[in-house]
């Protein structure tokens, strides 16, 4: 009974992820990880003998250890990918801020306004977005 429930949870999770991707609530790149996890849950639930056979082939006496080990490895890889993406986004944001500052400086020069070094100067929506 537990195997059937696990399989159903995996199938429902996969279907939910596909719906979220189709409605643009989840980016395809991130949804792929979740679809893989959902398929793994469904496989584990619907075909528990598959994991037992793989574990036995690998010399693992207690097959749930294989599922937990695979899960832990996948989580570590997911965290690594998230950190890489976060670092990449931080670099992009920093470069974008620099470009906008240069463009604002060029715009002031074209308008003939001197550059003011007032730290309380309002820079518009960009500053509001960065300070949130």
Q: What percent of the chain has pLDDT over 90?
A: 23
Q: Which residue has the tokens 């550059």?
A: 115
Give the Cα separation of 124 and 98 in Å (integer): 15
Q: What is the pTM of this model?
A: 0.60
* Tens digit of each residue's pLDDT (9 = 90 or more) over 12-68: 888 888 888 888 888 887 788 778 877 877 787 788 788 888 889 999 888 888 878
What average pLDDT is seen over the chain?
82
CB count, 10 Å around CB of 9? 15
Q: State both tokens at 51.
A: 């994991």
What's the pLDDT score for residue 132?
Answer: 53
Give the Cα separation of 60 and 64 in Å (integer): 9
What's the pLDDT score for residue 120?
Answer: 54
Question: Where does the chain show beta strands of DSSP type E?
Answer: none
């Amino acid at each position: 009974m537990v195997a059937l429930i696990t399989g159903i949870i995996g199938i429902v999770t996969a279907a939910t992820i596909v719906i979220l991707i189709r409605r643009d609530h989840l980016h395809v790149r991130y949804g792929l990880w979740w679809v893989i996890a959902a398929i793994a849950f469904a496989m584990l639930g619907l075909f528990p003998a598959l994991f037992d056979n793989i574990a036995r082939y690998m010399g693992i006496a207690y097959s749930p250890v294989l599922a937990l080990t695979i899960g832990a490895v996948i989580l570590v890889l997911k965290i690594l990918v998230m950190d890489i993406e976060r670092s990449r986004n931080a670099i992009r944001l920093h470069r974008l801020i620099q470009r906008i500052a240069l463009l604002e400086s060029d715009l002031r020069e074209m308008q003939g306004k001197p550059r003011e070094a007032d730290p309380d100067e309002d820079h518009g929506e960009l500053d509001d977005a960065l300070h949130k």
